[in-house]
Amino acid sequence: MQIIETIAELKSIIKDFKNTGKSIGFVPTMGYLHEGHLSLIQKAKEQNDIVVISIFVNPTQFGKGEDFESYPKNLEKDALLAKEAGADILFHPSVLEMYPTGYKTFVDVESITNALCGKSRPGHFKGVTTVVTKLFNIVTPNRAYFGQKDAQQVAVIEQMVRDLNMDVEIIPCPIIREKDGLAMSSRNVYLSAEERKAALILSRSLFEAKEFIDRGEKNAEVIKTHILNVIRQEPLAQIDYVEIVNAAALENVTTLEGDILIALAVRFGKARLIDNIRLEVL
Ligand code: AMP
């Protein structure tokens, strides 16, 4: 596996691969890799000749007071894990390489970026769509892999790719969880032992909601209230939001029908955790 730090070098390598007819799978990440990231690399390896993973903690998607400075890093370990999972190229640019002095251009998807995480993290998705557009232009992937863990991110990227006629297929991949149900996240490292235990309430509340729905409950308010009540039993949990929306437009629903996303964001100490389930309700 090659580790590349400059855009020029990566573009030149990609050009050579493309000239020999190789397909490119791309996995954008912020590093501190866990099995969630590795599942995306493995899927990319199954479907493409060459797999590129990027590790870039993107400053434009962090708001003031968020964890840009303290975001966990371990490039050496990440490189080993990425290689083992099947990556051929690890792209690790500096902030100046991606945003040189005088940088002025941003990509902004409207409307669906105002819901859910967009409400509590204004500007976050503008940073995401900008960096993903830049990375797509650099890597020119045939397919790009994103985790359903960040369900709103998938919806926003799919909208952007449609709207801007980008020549890339977006492949959403399932949420990978710890054995006890906690959705894997680089930010789980922020949790104290007590908070780690308390954070289990998130997946538990979502799984309980799914059981309700499987038994025929379709009233969004009833399900949302149940989830809120379950999470409120945990004193360390500070709820940011719990929302039930349709999965494509991310608009609130009153009755569960079709492709539904139940998404939540909850703080435990300095960790803001997100989780969700997506279901097809008949
Ligand atoms: P991040 O490094 O957190 O920006 O995540 C990079 C990619 O990995 C995104 O597409 C995430 O949705 C995906 N990802 C993160 N955690 C998980 C997980 N637990 N299961 C599946 N995909 C994940």
Give the contacts of 66 (CB within 8 A, at least 6 positions apart): 121
- Could you tell me the pTM of the whole model? 0.98
Interval 221-239 mean pLDDT = 98
Paired tokens of 227: 């989830």
pLDDT score for 196: 98
For 10-37, the pLDDT digits (tens) are 999 999 999 999 999 999 999 999 999 9
Q: How confident is the model at residue 252 (pLDDT cuts 50, 70, 90)?
A: very high
Paired tokens of 71: 């975001």
pLDDT score for 151: 98
Q: Which of 26, 27, 29 to mutate to test the pocket of ligand 1 (most atoms within 8 A of CB)?
A: 29
For 161-207, the pLDDT digits (tens) are 999 999 999 999 999 999 999 999 999 999 999 999 999 999 999 99
* Percentage of the chain modeled with pLDDT above 90: 99
Q: How far is the CA of 147 from the centre of ligand 1 (A)?
A: 5
User: 50 or 248, which is more confident?
Assistant: 50
Interval 228-237 mean pLDDT = 98
Q: How confident is the model at residue 245 (pLDDT cuts 50, 70, 90)?
A: very high
Paired tokens of 41: 């690399």
Distance CA 173, CA 154 (A): 10
Q: How confident is the model at residue 41 (pLDDT cuts 50, 70, 90)?
A: very high
Cβ count within 10 A of residue 210: 14
Q: 237: helix, coil or strand?
A: strand
Closest among 205, 184, 208, 210 to 196, alpha carbons compared: 184
pLDDT score for 86: 98
- Among the options 34, 37, 124, 226, which is catalytic? 37
Question: What CA–CA distances, in Å, run from 213 to 12, 217, 253, 256?
Answer: 51, 5, 14, 9
| 164 phi/psi in degrees, rounded to 5 | -100, 10
**Residue ranges around ligand 1 (CB below 6 Å):** 29-30, 36-37, 39-40, 146-147, 149-150, 173, 175-176, 183-186
Q: How far is the CA of 219 from the centre of ligand 1 (A)?
A: 30
How many residues are present in the chain? 282
Distance CA 141, CA 52 (A): 8
Strand-strand pairing, 258-268 and 237-246: antiparallel
pLDDT score for 43: 98
Q: What is the DSSP letter of 163?
A: H
State which amino acid sits at residue 69. Answer: E
34 is catalytic: no
Closest-CA residue, ligand 1 atom 18, reads 36
CB distance 158 to 125 below 8 Å:
no
Interval 67-83 mean pLDDT = 98
Q: How confident is the model at residue 72 (pLDDT cuts 50, 70, 90)?
A: very high
Rg (CA), the chain: 19
For 100, counting Cβ atoms within 10 Å of its Cβ (0-12 exposed, 13-18 middle, 19+ buried), the class is exposed
Mean pLDDT of the chain: 98
Estimate to the nearest angstrom the gap between the alpha carbon of 248 and the chain centroid: 16
For 130-161, the pLDDT digits (tens) are 999 999 999 999 999 999 999 999 999 999 99
Q: How far is the CA of 175 from the centre of ligand 1 (A)?
A: 8
Distance CA 40, CA 85 (A): 9
pLDDT score for 67: 97
